[in-house]
A and B are shown apart, each in its own frame.
Chain A
Amino acid sequence: MNSKISNIQRLSNPTAHSLSVAGFFAVMILLIGSVYYATITVDYIWRWYKVPTYFMYKETVIIYADSNGEVKEIKPNGDKFDVIITDDQGDITYTVPKDSFDLDEGDFTSPGDLIAEYQGGWKPGMMTVGLWITLKISFISTILGIFIGILGGVARVSSTPVLKWTAITYVEIIRGSPLLVQIMIAYFVLGTTINKILMMNGMPSLDPEWYGIAALSVFTGAYVVEIVRAGIGAIHSGQVEAARSGGMTYFQCMYYIILPQALKTILPPLAGQFINLIKDSSLLGMISIRELTKATREGITTSLQAFELWIMCAILYLLMTFTLSMCIQYLERRTETK
């Protein structure tokens, strides 16, 4: 696209351009190569083949006997077998695949004896579960963040002190303290209090996930308030006058006239905010939510393959943020053509 070429680019010559492209790839290859070389010199052994088990694995099912008993009957059940063991409590039936057990009718079992061992079905690994939790938390927090942000933004530009000052106080407090501290307060201060109150009233306590979502959406909401305020501020005052002079109320004017126009201009900064939200969700591991970062850390304690898993973790975050920014760019282009 010619229109996108800046003056600086226009003056450079085409050969220099292709050389420069080659240079870019050279730099990238050199960088990755030297990191790889460096890890080899410190005797790090790359075991990428171990990584897939953290995404999907075949579960090994091991069944032990609970009590002293006797194998009463072994009979086929479809392509599996029913192993029925009788003890003083009655009959227990285990349905297990063929060749997974080494028992005959009449054998005695005592607690802890192996009954069967076999490969179960595919199960999502730690990283997959972590990824799912990260996605879930980010999604809910984004929705709540937009909601808080729009309400707060409208309150922020209103002339009513109770709305305006509340919004300012909220924004200043949240933007002025670290997210990690806010997460700690949400869980250890608010969480403890709320869970205790719930318990006293005989209700089940809330998962740490919910406190994490609350902390993230309140944090993001504060930034969205400022973005929405700027978006509303960018709308020409004539729009408000035209709407109000027709007899619309303040809220009708906001909802039908100002916000639809403001949403178009705030889309790009909003995207940046939600990309930050995905990345910030990595802090939730601190309150024992097993999101992607926490899952990676746990994965490393069992596999000891720190390099591979951290790199995988980073790539997964990149994938999420990149997809989001692509979606927003698509939305932007769609609203532009209208």
Chain B
Amino acid sequence: MIDVKNIYKTFFVPHEVKALVDVSNKIEAGEVVVVIGPSGSGKSTFLRCLNRLETAEQGQILVDGVDIFDPKTDINKVRAEMGMVFQSFNLFPHLSILGNVTITQKLVRKRSKREREKKAMAILEKVGIADKAHAHPSNLSGGQQQRVAIARALAMDPKIMLFDEPTSALDPEMIGEVLDVMKTLAREGMTMVCVTHEMGFAKEVADRVIFMDEGKIVEEGTPVHFFENPDHDRTKLFLKQIL
């Protein structure tokens, strides 16, 4: 479904950092991939390259066979099929919850008002905040906001969901409710790529874990392999530090 071929990315601001060095990977439909690694390892950059929020200076990413770095590609069409959830929620503060969940349906999917509101309410029901549909984002807790952000992405009926540290900005007692929604999604067979520090989540639902360090994929494999019997010393050191 997503084929990443030898991508390189270097940031020059504030100083030169090699964020991605010769990264390749294949993500299959229905797969749940969890990307972990220390901060600055390039895992978020990797994720953000998948829907061209960052452009790689070398290499190719094919999403369903479409080269997303090709200038001729209509990136908006590709993005419409890929939902994204951010660390800082990024809900639209000037719109109600319902407005947040309907606006992309309206502008990108061109759904009728009735259709998009029906869809929005169904998804809000699913993530458990249908009763807040007419509230504004600022009146919601962090966990609720993140669930709305997930609902906003799901409302577009995406083929892939990208999660960029969705629980890192949350208070500890709210992490559970967001992870529950993500686990439900995983069980329903959604293709997911998650950058996260939630090792429990990785163990429980990941089909594959990717460990990154200094812009490279150091190790990848099943959660069992990764957590219990990793090959590389760097992985062992990392696991020792966090567990």
Q: Give the complex CA separation of A33 and B51 in angstroms.
A: 72
Interface of B, secondary structure class, is mixed
The 8 A CB mask of A240-255 against B (1 = contact, 0 = none) is 0111111111001000
**A260 close to chain B: CB less than 8 A:** yes
**B103 close to chain A: CB less than 8 A:** yes
Q: Give the complex CA separation of A257 and B136 in angstroms.
A: 15
Number of residues of chain B lying within 8 A (CB) of chain A = 27
Residues of A near B168 (CB, < 8 A) are: none
CB-based contact A256/B76 at 8 Å: no
CB-based contact B108/A261 at 8 Å: no
CB-based contact B77/A260 at 8 Å: no
Residues of A near B80 (CB, < 8 A) are: 246-247
**B152 close to chain A: CB less than 8 A:** yes
> Given A245-B53, A245-B84, A247-B156, A256–B90 Cβ distance below 8 Å?
no
CB-based contact A246/B153 at 8 Å: yes
Contact pick for A239, options B76, B90, B108, B156, CB 8 Å: B90
**B10 close to chain A: CB less than 8 A:** no
**A236 close to chain B: CB less than 8 A:** yes
Number of residues of chain A lying within 8 A (CB) of chain B = 19
Contact pick for B53, options A241, A248, A249, A264, CB 8 Å: A241
**B79 close to chain A: CB less than 8 A:** yes
Q: Give the complex CA separation of A236 and B89 in angstroms.
A: 12
**B92 close to chain A: CB less than 8 A:** yes
Contact pick for A248, options B76, B93, B153, CB 8 Å: B76
**Smallest CB–CB gap between B165 and chain A, Å?**
13
Q: Which of B22-54 contact A (CB under 8 A)?
A: 51, 53
Q: Give the complex CA separation of A242 and B156 in angstroms.
A: 13
Residue numbers of B with Cβ under 8 A of A are: 51, 53, 76-77, 79-84, 86, 88, 90-94, 103-104, 107-108, 136, 149, 152-153, 156, 162
Closest 4 CB pairs of A and B: A247-B80, A242-B90, A238-B90, A246-B104
